[in-house]
């Protein structure tokens, strides 16, 4: 079984980003970049399927500028066999990414595509579902458990009320939720080995799809600021404030 794992380069999850002073965008100067946490979970799941004998090859792919090669090398160090960069300097939207990934799916014919449910920059939560729509494949989003059983995948999904289990035909698109696994750290020898693994670069234009943005960001502003609260000394004070000042309990 061949697995394709699309990943994304994003601001590190520990960084608290701010809008630029002129509100023209997000201030990303000198900010630490990393592989999106949900994508890391996707890579880990693919590696486990290979270690368990289910998968034979793992291909990591990303859409972005040449700087994204860094995150592809991370995926290779975690256990992907080879990588593909679909290179573009346009800030691509989920629909465009899904169209480009469809092009890669057509070339590589994977049996399974695993990707993060959402990137922590745009918080869109769209790409996997869109890729499923464009390829006509079934989708199993927000996965907390994945089992391959013959020609089907049995996927437990994290839904609002609890958990839902569905069975989908292969090939399919799976998006990862937090509880699917705990990703490993790349070891130093594996980081060194990753430098020798193949990384192909494809021009986004060569895939012949429309990737022009449909959304224009008019401004990026800070969220409303909460006014500083107070520290109460005792539980009695707290109950008194909630009853008589905030009036949220009776």
Partner 1 sequence: MSILVIAEHDNEEIKASTNNVVTAATNLEGDIHVLVAGSNCSGAKDQAAKISGVAKVLVADSPEYEHCLAENIADLIVAISADYSHILSPATTNGKNYMPRVSALLDVAQISDITAIESSDTFERPIYAGNCIATVQNSDSKKVITVRTTAFDAAQNDGSAEVVDLQESHNLGISEFIKEEIAESDRPELTSADVIISGGRGMQNGDNFKILESVADKLGAAIGASRAAVDSGFVPNDYQVGQTGKIVAPNLYIAVGISGAIQHLAGMKDSKVIVAINKDEDAPIFQVADYGLVADLFTAVPELDAKL
Verify binding: residue 183, partner 1, rule CB under 8 A: no
Verify binding: residue 108, partner 1, rule CB under 8 A: no
| CB of residue 88 to partner 1, shortest distance in Å | 17
DSSP 8-state symbol, 242: I
Beta bridge partners of 149: 152
Q: How far apart are alpha carbons 144 and 31 in whole angstroms? A: 31
Verify binding: residue 241, partner 1, rule CB under 8 A: yes
Q: How far apart are alpha carbons 220 and 20 in whole angstroms? A: 8
| CB of residue 133 to partner 1, shortest distance in Å | 4
Verify binding: residue 120, partner 1, rule CB under 8 A: yes
Verify binding: residue 130, partner 1, rule CB under 8 A: yes
Verify binding: residue 193, partner 1, rule CB under 8 A: no
Stretch touching partner 1 by CB under 8 A, among 60-68, 73-81, 138-146, 186-194: 138-146
| CB of residue 228 to partner 1, shortest distance in Å | 8
Which of 178, 187, 192, 195 is close enough to bind partner 1 by CB under 8 A? 178
Binding mask 200-239 for partner 1 (x = CB under 8 A): -------------xxxxxxxxxxx--x-xxxxx-xxx-xx
Nearest to 207 by CA among 88, 37, 36, 34: 88
**133: phi then psi, degrees, rounded to nearest 5:** -60, -45
Count, residues near partner 1 per rule CB under 8 A = 81
Q: How far apart are alpha carbons 230 and 228 in whole angstroms? A: 7
Q: What angle do CA 156, 157, 160 make, to 5 degrees?
A: 140
Verify binding: residue 169, partner 1, rule CB under 8 A: yes
Verify binding: residue 45, partner 1, rule CB under 8 A: no
Nearest to 10 by CA among 119, 95, 111, 86: 119
Verify binding: residue 103, partner 1, rule CB under 8 A: no
| CB of residue 14 to partner 1, shortest distance in Å | 8
Q: How far apart are alpha carbons 155 and 161 in whole angstroms? A: 16
């Amino acid at each position: 079984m061949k697995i394709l794992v699309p990943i994304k380069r994003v601001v590190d999850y520990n960084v608290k980003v701010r809008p630029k002073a002129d509100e023209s965008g997000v201030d990303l100067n000198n900010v630490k970049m990393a592989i999106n946490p949900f994508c890391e979970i996707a890579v880990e799941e693919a590696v486990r399927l290979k270690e368990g004998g289910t998968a034979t090859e793992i291909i990591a792919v990303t859409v972005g500028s040449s700087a994204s090669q860094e995150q592809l090398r991370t995926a290779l160090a975690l256990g992907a066999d080879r990588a593909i960069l679909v290179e573009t300097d346009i800030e691509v939207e989920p629909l465009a990414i899904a169209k480009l990934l469809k092009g890669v799916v057509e070339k590589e014919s994977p049996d399974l595509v695993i990707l993060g449910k959402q990137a922590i920059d745009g918080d869109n939560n769209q790409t996997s579902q869109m890729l499923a729509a464009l390829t006509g494949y079934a989708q199993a989003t927000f996965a907390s458990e994945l089992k391959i059983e013959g020609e089907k995948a049995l996927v437990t999904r994290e839904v609002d009320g609890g958990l839902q289990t569905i069975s989908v035909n292969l090939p399919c698109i799976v998006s990862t939720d937090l509880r699917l696994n705990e990703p490993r750290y790349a070891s130093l020898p594996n980081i060194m080995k990753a430098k020798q693994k193949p990384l192909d670069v494809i021009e986004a234009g060569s895939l012949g799809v429309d990737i022009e943005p449909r959304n224009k960001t008019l401004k990026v502003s800070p969220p409303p600021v909460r006014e500083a609260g107070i520290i109460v000394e005792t539980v009695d004070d707290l109950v008194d404030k909630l009853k008589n000042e905030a009036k949220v309990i009776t």
